[in-house]
C-alpha cells in the first residue's frame, strides 16, 4: 500500500520513512540473555494496512518456566547483590540508547499498534526514555527515597502489559523493577510485541547481564502462566478490569505482591467560566489521543448547561478538521484501531448507544479503504444508565452530558465503577480544589488532560486497580520498605 492510498486531510502527505532500520522476518523469545526458539509462532499485523510485519514466538508454560528460572538465577547470583550505583549505570545506558534509536522505536510502534507517528515520536518514546532516566537516578538513593527505612529488593517480577502503549508500558514496568534490584519476566500484548522485542535487542546492546530482563511473547495463556508461576514474587499487571480480577483471584493466598492498573471511564468536566477554546482542545486530546485506546481517556464529557450548545458546536467544527489516516504520516491526528477485535467491540458499543436512544454524530470525512478505522464519534442525549456512559469503549467515542452545579457534576462523574482519572476546566482555583477533592479518581488534571511524567504516581480507585506506578509510590511497589 502506498502513502497516497491514505487520506491526508487536504495536506500533502508527509510519511515517516521505515527504511532506516530492520524489522526481522521473525523474532524468538528473549530468555536468559539469549534468543530462544518458541515451539510455535504467530503473526503481528499492521492494523493500518492488514499487512504482516513479522512473526514472533509464542511462549508456552515451558518457555515461561525457563524465563522465570533465568530471572531467578540472575537475581540470586548477581543483580540483587550488585552495588546500586552499578545498576543505575545500566539504566542510564538503556535510557540513552532509547534516545539514540528514538526514530526507529517511534516508527515500529506506529506500524505495529496503529498510533499516529506524532504521538509515538513525541509522547511514547521520550516518556519511555524518561522512565529509565528517572529510575536510574533512584537506584543508589533508595534509602533517601524512604528515609529511616530499611529498603531491599523483592525478587523475580512477572509483568504483563497491554497493547495501547507497548514500549511505554514496558518502560513503566521494567525501569522501577530493575532500579530496586529485582529481575523481570515481561509479557507484551499479542497485537503489539515488536517494540518490546526491539527493547530486548537494545538491552543486549546495553550489556545488561543475562536473565535480568526476559521477554516472552504470546497470548493470554502466556500471561496467565507467568502470573501463576510459583517462583514469581511480585505480579505487575496493566490491562482490563476483567483480567485484573482473575489475576487478583489467582494470586490470593500465594503471598505474591501485586499491582493492578486497570480500566477507566474518566469524566472531563467543563464549567461555564472555563477558557472554551482551550477546553475544546483538551476534550479532543482527552478522547482522541491514541484513538481513545487510553485507560485514562476523557470518555465522558460533562459540560455546564449554559455553555453546552456553544462547546458542542465548537467541538464538531474542530473534529471536522482532524485527519484520520496513515499512522506514519506526520499530518495524522487519529490512526488505526489496534485490531479487528477491538474495532468490533467499538462498533458493537456504538450500536448499543444508538439503540439505547443516544444521538450519534460523526464528521463528514472518510476513512482509508484497508485496515481498521473508526471515525471520531460524539454522543449527545446520553443518560447515566446508558452502557456507553458506564462501560469502557476504549475507542474514539465521547459520551456528552450536561450539569448545572459542581455538586451535580461530582455526583455524575463519580457514578461509575471506575476511578482512574478526571479533568476539570475552570478559571477559578477554588473550584479546582473543590472538584479535585470531590472526584473519586487517582489522577485529576486541571485545565489540561493526558499529561504524564515519571515523577508523578499514576493509578486508580475501585475497578481501576490497586497500587500506583511512577514517582515514589510506584518505586515503593518494587521494594520491601521496613521501618
Neighbouring residues of 151: CB distance < 8 A, sequence distance ≥ 6: 142, 143, 145, 180, 479, 480, 481
The 409-428 contact track toward ligand TAP, x by CB under 6 A, reads: -----------x--------
The 134-163 contact track toward ligand TAP, x by CB under 6 A, reads: --------------------------xxxx
Should residue 190 be labelled a site residue for ligand TAP when binding is judged by CB under 6 A? yes
Should residue 349 be labelled a site residue for ligand TAP when binding is judged by CB under 6 A? no
295, 296, 382, 479: which is the annotated catalytic residue?
Answer: 295
Given the complex with ligand TAP, which of 117 and 215 has the nearer CB atom?
215
Q: Is 320 annotated as catalytic?
A: no
CA–CA distance, 301 with 223 (Å, rounded to integer): 34
DSSP H helices in 335-476: 340-355, 387-390, 406-413, 429-438, 471-476
CA–CA distance, 296 with 281 (Å, rounded to integer): 16
Give the nearest distance from C-beta 229 to ligand TAP in angstroms.
11
How far is CA 106 from each of CA 18, 118, 339, 412, rounded to the nearest angstrom? 10, 9, 19, 38
CA–CA distance, 302 with 446 (Å, rounded to integer): 14
Give the nearest distance from C-beta 58 to ligand TAP in angstroms.
9
Q: Record the cell numbers describing residue 10, joined without a space.
A: 487536504
Give the nearest distance from C-beta 472 to ligand TAP in angstroms.
17
Should residue 379 be labelled a site residue for ligand TAP when binding is judged by CB under 6 A? no
Give the nearest distance from C-beta 126 to ligand TAP in angstroms.
18
Give the nearest distance from C-beta 289 to ligand TAP in angstroms.
12
Should residue 121 be labelled a site residue for ligand TAP when binding is judged by CB under 6 A? no
Give the nearest distance from C-beta 114 to ligand TAP in angstroms.
14
Grid cell 490512526 is found at: 335
Contact 356, 382 (CB under 8 A): no
Residue 448's nearest CA partner among 429, 423, 416 is: 423
Given the complex with ligand TAP, which of 295 and 324 has the nearer CB atom?
295
Q: Which helix (H) or strand (E) holds 198?
A: helix 194-205
Given the complex with ligand TAP, which of 49 and 191 has the nearer CB atom?
191
Should residue 239 be labelled a site residue for ligand TAP when binding is judged by CB under 6 A? yes
Stretch binding ligand TAP (CB under 6 A), from 114-122, 140-148, 269-277, 457-465: 457-465
109, 119, 261, 463: which is the annotated catalytic residue?
Answer: 261
Given the complex with ligand TAP, which of 176 and 264 has the nearer CB atom?
264
Phi, psi of 67 (to 5 degrees): -65, -40
Stretch binding ligand TAP (CB under 6 A), from 33-41, 122-130, 186-194, 299-307: 186-194
Stretch binding ligand TAP (CB under 6 A), from 16-24, 187-195, 196-204, 379-387: 187-195
- Other C-beta atoms within 10 Å of 147: how many? 7
Distance of CA 368 to the CA centre of its chain: 25
Query: With CB under 6 A, what is the number of residues at the site for ligand TAP?
Result: 30
Q: Which helix (H) or strand (E) holds 195?
A: helix 194-205
* Among 153, 182, 238, 372, interactor with ligand TAP by CB under 6 A: 238
Stretch binding ligand TAP (CB under 6 A), from 10-18, 107-115, 257-265, 443-451: 257-265
Q: In sequence order, what DSSP letters do the residues of 127-162 get, joined into one string?
A: HHHHHHHHHHHHTT-HHHHSTT-EEE---EEEEE--
286-345: contacts with ligand TAP (CB under 6 A): 295
Give the nearest distance from C-beta 302 to ligand TAP in angstroms.
20
- Other C-beta atoms within 10 Å of 364: how many? 6
Q: Is 296 annotated as catalytic?
A: no
260-289: contacts with ligand TAP (CB under 6 A): 261-264
How far is CA 27 from each of CA 34, 41, 49, 52, 395, rounded to the nearest angstrom? 12, 9, 21, 13, 29
Should residue 112 be labelled a site residue for ligand TAP when binding is judged by CB under 6 A? no
Give the nearest distance from C-beta 456 to ligand TAP in angstroms.
12
Should residue 219 be labelled a site residue for ligand TAP when binding is judged by CB under 6 A? yes
Residue 426 exposure: Cα atoms within 13 Å on the Cβ side: 20
Contact 115, 109 (CB under 8 A): yes
Residue 268's nearest CA partner among 254, 279, 257 is: 279
- Residues noted as catalytic: 261, 295
Give residues in contact with ligand TAP (CB under 6 A): 160-164, 187, 189-190, 219-220, 223-224, 227, 238-240, 243, 246-247, 261-264, 295, 392, 394, 420, 458, 460, 465
Amino acid at each position: 500500500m502506498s502513502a497516497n492510498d491514505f487520506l491526508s486531510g487536504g495536506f500533502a502527505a508527509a510519511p515517516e520513512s521505515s527504511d532506516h532500520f530492520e524489522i526481522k522476518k521473525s523474532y524468538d523469545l528473549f530468555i536468559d540473555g539469549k534468543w530462544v526458539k518458541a515451539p510455535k509462532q504467530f503473526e503481528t499485523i499492521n492494523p493500518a494496512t492488514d499487512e504482516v510485519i513479522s512473526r514472533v514466538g509464542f511462549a508456552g508454560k515451558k518457555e515461561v518456566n525457563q524465563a522465570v528460572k533465568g530471572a531467578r538465577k540472575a537475581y540470586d547470583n548477581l543483580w540483587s547483590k550488585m552495588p546500586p550505583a552499578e545498576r543505575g549505570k545500566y539504566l542510564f545506558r538503556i535510557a540513552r540508547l532509547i534516545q539514540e534509536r528514538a526514530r526507529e522505536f517511534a516508527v515500529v510502534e506506529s506500524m505495529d499498534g496503529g498510533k499516529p507517528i506524532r504521538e509515538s515520536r513525541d509522547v511514547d518514546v521520550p516518556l519511555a526514555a524518561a522512565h529509565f532516566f528517572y529510575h536510574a537516578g533512584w537506584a543508589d538513593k533508595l534509602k533517601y527515597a524512604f528515609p529511616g527505612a530499611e529498603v531491599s529488593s523483592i525478587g523475580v517480577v512477572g509483568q504483563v502489559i497491554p497493547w495501547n502503549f507497548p514500549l511505554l508500558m514496558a518502560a513503566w514496568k521494567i525501569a522501577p523493577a530493575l532500579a530496586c534490584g529485582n529481575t523481570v519476566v515481561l509479557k507484551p500484548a499479542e497485537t503489539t510485541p515488536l517494540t518490546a522485542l526491539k527493547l530486548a535487542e537494545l538491552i543486549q546492546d546495553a550489556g545488561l547481564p543475562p536473565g535480568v530482563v526476559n521477554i516472552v511473547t504470546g497470548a493470554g495463556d502466556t500471561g496467565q502462566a507467568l502470573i501463576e508461576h510459583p517462583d514469581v514474587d511480585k505480579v505487575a499487571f496493566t490491562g482490563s478490569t476483567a483480567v485484573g480480577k482473575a489475576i487478583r483471584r489467582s494470586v490470593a493466598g500465594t503471598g505474591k505482591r501485586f499491582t493492578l492498573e486497570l480500566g477507566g471511564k474518566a469524566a472531563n468536566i467543563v464549567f461555564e467560566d472555563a477558557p472554551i477554546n482551550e477546553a475544546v482542545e483538551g476534550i479532543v486530546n482527552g478522547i482522541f489521543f491514541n484513538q481513545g485506546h487510553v485507560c485514562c481517556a476523557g470518555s465522558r464529557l460533562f459540560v455546564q448547561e449554559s455553555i453546552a450548545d456553544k462547546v458542542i458546536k465548537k467541538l464538531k467544527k474542530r473534529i471536522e478538521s482532524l485527519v484520520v489516516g496513515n499512522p506514519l504520516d506526520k499530518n495524522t491526528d487519529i490512526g488505526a484501531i489496534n485490531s479487528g477485535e477491538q474495532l468490533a467491540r467499538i462498533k458493537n458499543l456504538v450500536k448499543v448507544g444508538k439503540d439505547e436512544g443516544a444521538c450519534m454524530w460523526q464528521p463528514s470525512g472518510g476513512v482509508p479503504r484497508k485496515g481498521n478505522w473508526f471515525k471520531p464519534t460524539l454522543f449527545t442525549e446520553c443518560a447515566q444508565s446508558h452502557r456507553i456512559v458506564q462501560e469502557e469503549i476504549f475507542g474514539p467515542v465521547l459520551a456528552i452530558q450536561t450539569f448545572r452545579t459542581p455538586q451535580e457534576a461530582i455526583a455524575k462523574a463519580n457514578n461509575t465503577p471506575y476511578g482512574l482519572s478526571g479533568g476539570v476546566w475552570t478559571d477559578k482555583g477554588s473550584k479546582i480544589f473543590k472538584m479535585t477533592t470531590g472526584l473519586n479518581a487517582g489522577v485529576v488534571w486541571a485545565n489540561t488532560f493526558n499529561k504524564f511524567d515519571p515523577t508523578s504516581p499514576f493509578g486508580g480507585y475501585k475497578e481501576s486497580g490497586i497500587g500506583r506506578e511512577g514517582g515514589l509510590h510506584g518505586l515503593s511497589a518494587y521494594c520491601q520498605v521496613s521501618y
